[in-house]
């Protein structure tokens, strides 16, 4: 018997030892034994795929005070600590051995020192507590896309959340045998005070790319603790780079065109930029809202949602703009709310829900009343701006039938979008795959939101909406995307969208419902149903096609004045954007492929030629070829 098995037999009950040994994987046994010895829990619970085990997490989360029941069956609420409300980018670092370099834009720490530090925080951290050992799948089981994962945590809230978000993986591990090729996550919320993590100054999220291993400690917020979410995305990006596939920060949806046609789109948007609401557009179907794996299969690009649930921002979710999600949030099914306001009747409330909010209740700051301020005299909002909901996609009325298809969905289009007040038009098609990856994806900028720590409203560079999660040099990541179209008979068309364009008065030029028209037009283009107008920046819709879509799908009149205002090509702003982004690559990305600079130069030449002919601002009607 190995040393790991001896320790596990000593520390686990007979039932849970039997469960862990049934998975004949020495690397996994070593990982669990090391975690048990390091963290010193009072007991260990090994989760199988059984509904009873999943139900145990739900009960334990409530008993431990990490969740509280709400007024609708299946609904609970979790509160994170006041200063533990978002991904901690500063303390999320890669553990790099000597000689490794991911570039200055990616946080890292010397591996030996980092491991020593974080393991010192884990030492005896679970004394008096139960360790939960969970097995999950990234992607549908029994698929080329599948990655088995093991999560160790002492937080029943984290385990409960993952049971909603991910497919069970215990039986998959049995089929996996002794292979060492799986992802590992160890988390502890640390010492608690009022059921939230206390030692925030010791919050760490360290990622070991060599070992496919993530450490997370002294935090509860899902983005720092739910290992299979953005933490696993970092591991998958490196794995995909080595194996010739892509791991992307993308939704996947079925866009429903004429005569019952469904065209599948993937889309990359930074947090709070319309990503989930796009994937949930009325009349369309959702495969996933956040993370996709893309593979080449039989001359096609195909993709899966690695999750089966949504961990979404709840702010501004209301019955009018997000009817399907709102229905799930207000009817019996399994939902975890986090950092919302809970009134005396255990009813949740959040910013932008479409009804008046109470003037008192319980939120992430404790007992709350209108006008309450924190220690720095900042007003505390009723619900946090980054408050979340966690639910199962199959509980939504628009769940797409390909959600669990092991072959994935065939991609017809890719969309990039961000918060952009003055440059991009609402929807535009790139000229080709290379232009799309470089001008739409690798040049993506967006204004910051409350989903990350720091100042809001600052325009930031965020290539492919994946910058925060990259685990390979940026230049290699761009080249991987460019090369991915090789061998594909008809690569998906690439589009940009912008829901945040403003007029001279500062008002938004798009209505919230308009995004449905932009996506439906992209579907028509992907299937060759409509023509487009060629501009210096790409291909834009014709007015008559948009007017018909507005009438048919929104029952709204779309004026030529709105069209002109929205689809005027802004030459100075586009040139400034190219200059800003190119400087970032020149200053910070030494391995930038030359094709990026060549493509920028071609785009700049087109813009200046058009500027000489038409002036700084070009009306779309002026570009129609007679």
Residues 391 and 513 both lie in one domain: no
In a domain, 71, yes or no: no
In a domain, 72, yes or no: no
Residues 581 and 567 both lie in one domain: yes
Contact (CB, 8 A) for 242 and 438: no
Active-site residue (options: 273, 333, 390, 399): 273
Domain containing 590 — which CATH number? 3.90.228.20
Domain end (from 191, 211, 243): 243
Residues 252 and 382 both lie in one domain: no
| pLDDT recorded at residue 512 | 85
| pLDDT recorded at residue 426 | 97
| pLDDT recorded at residue 449 | 55
Residues 415 and 490 both lie in one domain: yes
Q: How far is CA 328 from CA 75, 167, 222, 392, 520, in A?
A: 10, 20, 20, 9, 25
Question: Is 80 exceeded by the pLDDT of residue 271?
Answer: no
In a domain, 76, yes or no: no
Q: Which residues does 370 contact at the CB level (< 8 Å), separation at least 6?
A: 359, 360, 382
| Segment 466-488, tens digit of pLDDT | 998 999 999 999 999 999 999 99
Q: Give me the mean pLDDT over the 99-123 stretch.
A: 87
| pLDDT recorded at residue 458 | 75
Q: Give me the mean pLDDT over the 238-267 stretch.
A: 97
| pLDDT recorded at residue 456 | 57
Residues 126 and 251 both lie in one domain: no
The rounded distance, in Å, linking the Cα atoms of 268 and 446 is 12
Q: Give me the mean pLDDT over the 21-31 stretch.
A: 96
Residues 277 and 231 both lie in one domain: no
| pLDDT recorded at residue 106 | 74
Residues 262 and 321 both lie in one domain: no
In a domain, 113, yes or no: yes
* Short-list 405, 431, 414, 390, CA closest to 602: 431
Percentage of residues of the chain with pLDDT beyond 70? 98
In a domain, 325, yes or no: yes
Q: Give me the mean pLDDT over the 317-322 stretch.
A: 89
Residues 130 and 275 both lie in one domain: no
Domain containing 94 — which CATH number? 3.40.449.10
In a domain, 83, yes or no: no
> How many domains is the chain partitioned into structurally?
3
Of the chain, the end-to-end C-alpha distance in Å amounts to 82
Residues 166 and 290 both lie in one domain: no
In a domain, 533, yes or no: yes
| pLDDT recorded at residue 103 | 67
Q: How far is CA 404 from CA 166, 247, 575, in A?
A: 11, 17, 43
* Short-list 497, 495, 505, CA closest to 565: 505
Question: Is 90 exceeded by the pLDDT of residue 452?
Answer: no
Domain containing 331 — which CATH number? 2.170.8.10
Q: Which residues does 181 contact at the CB level (< 8 Å), separation at least 6?
A: none
Question: Is 90 exceeded by the pLDDT of residue 451?
Answer: no
Q: Give me the mean pLDDT over the 549-562 stretch.
A: 97
Compute the mean pLDDT over every residue in the chain, rounded to the nearest whole number.
Answer: 94
Q: What are phi and psi of 329, to 5 degrees?
A: -75, -10
Q: Give me the mean pLDDT over the 329-342 stretch.
A: 97
Contact (CB, 8 A) for 234 and 95: no
Question: Is 60 exceeded by the pLDDT of residue 626?
Answer: no
Residues 176 and 262 both lie in one domain: no
How confident is residue 457, by pLDDT bands cut at 50, 70 and 90?
Answer: low
Residues 386 and 478 both lie in one domain: no
273 is catalytic: yes
Between 413 and 99, residue with greater pLDDT:
413
Domain end (from 372, 395, 418): 395
- Tell me, what DSSP letter sits at residue 441? I
Strand order in the sheet with 348-349: 348-349, 341-342, 360-363, 366-369
| pLDDT recorded at residue 8 | 96
Contact (CB, 8 A) for 448 and 458: yes
Residues 294 and 410 both lie in one domain: yes
User: Which residue range(s) make up the domain with 171?
Assistant: 3-65+88-243
Question: Is 70 exceeded by the pLDDT of residue 610?
Answer: yes
| Segment 507-525, tens digit of pLDDT | 999 988 899 999 999 999 9
| pLDDT recorded at residue 534 | 97
| Segment 65-109, tens digit of pLDDT | 999 999 999 999 999 999 999 889 899 999 998 877 776 667 899
| Segment 213-227, tens digit of pLDDT | 999 999 999 999 999
In a domain, 481, yes or no: yes
Question: Is 60 exceeded by the pLDDT of residue 593?
Answer: yes
Domain end (from 395, 419, 434): 395
């Amino acid at each position: 018997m190995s040393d790991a098995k001896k320790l596990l037999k000593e520390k686990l009950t007979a039932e849970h030892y039997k469960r862990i040994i049934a998975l004949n994987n020495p690397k996994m046994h070593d990982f669990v034994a090391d975690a048990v010895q390091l963290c010193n829990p009072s007991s260990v619970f090994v989760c199988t795929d059984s509904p009873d085990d999943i139900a145990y997490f739900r009960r334990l989360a409530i008993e431990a005070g990490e969740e509280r029941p709400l007024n609708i069956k299946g609904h609970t609420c979790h509160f994170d600590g006041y200063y533990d409300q978002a991904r901690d980018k500063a303390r999320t670092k890669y553990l790099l051995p000597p000689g490794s370099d991911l570039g200055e834009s990616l946080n890292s720490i010397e591996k030996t020192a980092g491991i020593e530090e974080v393991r010192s925080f884990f030492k005896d951290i679970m004394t008096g507590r139960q360790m939960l050992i969970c097995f999950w799948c990234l992607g549908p089981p029994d698929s080329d896309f599948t990655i088995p994962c093991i999560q160790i945590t002492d937080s029943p809230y984290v385990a409960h959340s993952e049971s909603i978000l991910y497919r069970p993986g215990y039986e998959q591990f049995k089929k996996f045998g002794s292979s060492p090729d799986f992802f590992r996550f160890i988390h502890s919320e640390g010492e608690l005070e009022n059921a939230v993590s206390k030692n925030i100054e010791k919050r760490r999220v360290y990622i070991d790319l060599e070992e496919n291993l993530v450490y997370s400690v002294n935090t509860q917020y899902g983005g720092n603790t739910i290992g299979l979410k953005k933490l696993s995305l970092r591991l998958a990006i490196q794995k995909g780079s080595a194996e010739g596939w892509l791991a992307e920060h993308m939704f996947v949806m079925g866009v429903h065109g004429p005569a019952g046609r469904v065209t599948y789109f993937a889309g990359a948007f930074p947090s709070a930029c319309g990503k989930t609401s796009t994937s949930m557009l009325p009349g369309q179907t959702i495969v996933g809202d956040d993370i996709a794996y893309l593979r080449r299969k039989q001359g096609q690009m195909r993709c899966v949602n690695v999750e089966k649930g949504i961990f979404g921002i709840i702010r501004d979710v209301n019955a009018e703009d997000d009817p399907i999600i709102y229905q799930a949030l207000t009817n019996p099914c399994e939902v975890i709310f986090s950092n919302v306001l809970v009134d005396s009747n255990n009813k949740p409330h959040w910013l932008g829900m479409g009804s008046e909010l109470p003037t008192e209740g319980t939120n992430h700051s404790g007992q709350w009343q209108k006008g309450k301020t924190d220690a720095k005299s900042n007003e505390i909002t009723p619900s946090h701006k980054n408050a979340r909901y966690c639910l199962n996609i199959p509980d939504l009325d628009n769940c797409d039938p390909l959600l669990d298809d092991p072959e994935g969905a065939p991609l017809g289009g890719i969309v990039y979008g961000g918060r952009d007040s003055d440059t991009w038009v609402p929807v535009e098609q790139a000229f080709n795959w290379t232009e799309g990856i470089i001008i739409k994806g690798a040049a993506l900028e967006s204004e910051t939101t409350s989903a990350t720590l720091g100042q809001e409203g600052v325009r930031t560079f965020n290539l492919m909406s994946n910058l925060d999660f990259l685990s390979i040099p940026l230049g290699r990541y761009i080249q991987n995307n460019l090369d991915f179209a090789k061998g594909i008979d008809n690569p998906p068309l690439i589009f940009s969208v912008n829901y945040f364009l403003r007029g001279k008065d500062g008002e938004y030029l798009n209505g919230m419902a308009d995004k449905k028209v932009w996506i439906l037009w992209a579907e028509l283009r992907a299937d060759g149903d409509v023509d487009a107008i060629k501009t210096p920046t790409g291909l834009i819709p014709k007015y008559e096609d948009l007017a018909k879509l507005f009438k048919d799908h929104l029952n709204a009149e779309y004026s030529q004045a709105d069209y002109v205002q929205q689809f005027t090509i802004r030459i100075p702003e586009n040139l400034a954007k190219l200059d800003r982004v190119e400087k970032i690559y020149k200053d910070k990305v030494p391995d930038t492929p030359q094709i990026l600079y060549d493509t920028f130069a071609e785009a700049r030449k087109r813009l200046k030629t058009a500027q000489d002919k038409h002036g700084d601002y070009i009306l779309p009607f002026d570009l129609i070829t007679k």
